[in-house]
Amino acid sequence: MDEFELINLLTRDLPQTDSVKVGPGDDCAVLDLGLEDRYLLFKTDAVVEGVHFTAEDPPEQIGYKAMARCLSDVAAMAGHPTHALITLALPQEFDPARIEGVYQGLKIAGAPWQVSIVGGETTTNPDRLLLSIALLGTVLKSQCVRRAGARSGDALFVTGELGGSRTGKHLDFRPRLDEARWLAENFPPHAMIDLSDGLAGDLRHLLKASACGAELHARSIPISRAARLLPRTDASAKPPLLAALSDGEDFELLFTLARTKAVALLDAWKKRFPEIRLTCIGKITDTPGLILRDKDGARPLTLHGYTHFKKS
C-alpha cells in the first residue's frame, strides 16, 4: 500500500461537522468557526530523523525546516500563519544544546510572520528525533485558494526553480507566504498547491481535486542549478529535467490562472518580486491525465512524485 492509498483508507469515514469547509485532501483544513470574514486554517506536519533530515544536520536547520514546511502549506491556501504547537519525541539520552538549537530554528522560521509558539508536548522515542508541528492560520474567506478550481485553458505557473533540493534547499527555503498573499490580492489563482512531493506528483493532486488534466512544456520548466550540476559529480543523479519533475521538497507554489491574465501577472510579478522566478510551464486541459510536450512531440507523463510507502 502506498502513502496515498493509506490516506484514502484512513479518511474514508471521518467525523465532521458543518464547521469543516475543507477536510482532508488539501494543503490545510479550512474551518468556519464563526469569524465574520475569515476561515481558520489548521495543519499538522512531522519531520523524522533519517527521513527528512540526518543526525548530522545543524539543529537550527532541522527546526527551521519543520516549521517552514507547515508555513508552506498555509501559503498554498493564500493564508496567514498565526499559532503553532510543537511536539517533540526524542531518545532518553539527548543533548539539550541540540534541542535548544531545534527550537531556535523553529522561532527563526516563524518570526517573519509573527507566528506565536503557544505550547507543545515532549515525549520519548527510541533512537531518533521526531518533530511534529500543529499550525493555525487564517485566510480571508474571499481569498482562500484550494487545490480544486483549475479550469480548462488556465495557464499553469510555478515560482522559483525546481529539483536538486537535497543538496541544501530542503533545509533552507523561505516559504512563499508573501508571494501567495500578493497573488490572492492581485491575481487570484483558480487553484494552488505547494510543491512538497515533486512537480509531477503535486500537479496530479491539483488535477485530481480540479477534475481536469494538464500539458507541461518541458522546455519551460525552470530547472535549478543544483539539479543541472548534480549529474556532473554524482553518477547516480537523475537527469536535470527528471529531477525537476520528480524531486521532492522544492516548497515552491504551483497555481493556475486564466490565460488572459498571464502577461499582466508576469509583468507585475517581475516588479514586485524581482529576485524570484515565475514561469508559465503549461496549461490546464479538460482531458484527464498529464502530458509532457518536448521537441519530439507530446506524450503521457507517467512519472509520480515522492511517496513515503512503497507498494507491496
Binding residues for Mg ion, per CB under 5 A?
27, 73, 194, 196
Q: Which is nearer to Mg ion, 53 or 251 (CB)?
A: 251
Least distance from Mg ion to the Cβ atom of residue 144, Å? 15
Closest chain position to Mg ion (CB): 27
Residue whose C-alpha is closest to residue 88's, from 101, 99, 96, 97:
99
Q: Which is nearer to Mg ion, 240 or 248 (CB)?
A: 248
- For cell 533530515, name the residue: 53
Least distance from Mg ion to the Cβ atom of residue 28, Å? 8
Question: Alpha-carbon distance 191 to 288, whole Å?
Answer: 16
| The three grid cell numbers given for residue 186, joined into one nine-digit string | 492581485
Question: Alpha-carbon distance 223 to 12, whole Å?
Answer: 37
Least distance from Mg ion to the Cβ atom of residue 75, Å? 9
Q: Which is nearer to Mg ion, 49 or 73 (CB)?
A: 73
Q: Phi and psi at residue 142, in whole multiples of 5°?
A: -75, -10
- For cell 483549475, name the residue: 150
Going by the DSSP 8-state scheme, the letter that residue 56 receives in this structure is: T
Amino acid at 135: L
Least distance from Mg ion to the Cβ atom of residue 254, Å? 10
Q: Which is nearer to Mg ion, 154 or 194 (CB)?
A: 194
Least distance from Mg ion to the Cβ atom of residue 256, Å? 16
Half-sphere exposure of 198 (CA within 13 A, CB side): 20
Half-sphere exposure of 131 (CA within 13 A, CB side): 30
Q: Which is nearer to Mg ion, 159 or 196 (CB)?
A: 196
Question: Alpha-carbon distance 71 to 59, whole Å?
Answer: 19
The secondary element (H helix, E strand) that includes residue 280 is strand 278-285
Least distance from Mg ion to the Cβ atom of residue 177, Å? 13
Q: Which is nearer to Mg ion, 162 or 230 (CB)?
A: 162
Q: Which is nearer to Mg ion, 138 or 196 (CB)?
A: 196
Residue whose C-alpha is closest to residue 246's, from 169, 193, 303:
303
Least distance from Mg ion to the Cβ atom of residue 193, Å? 6
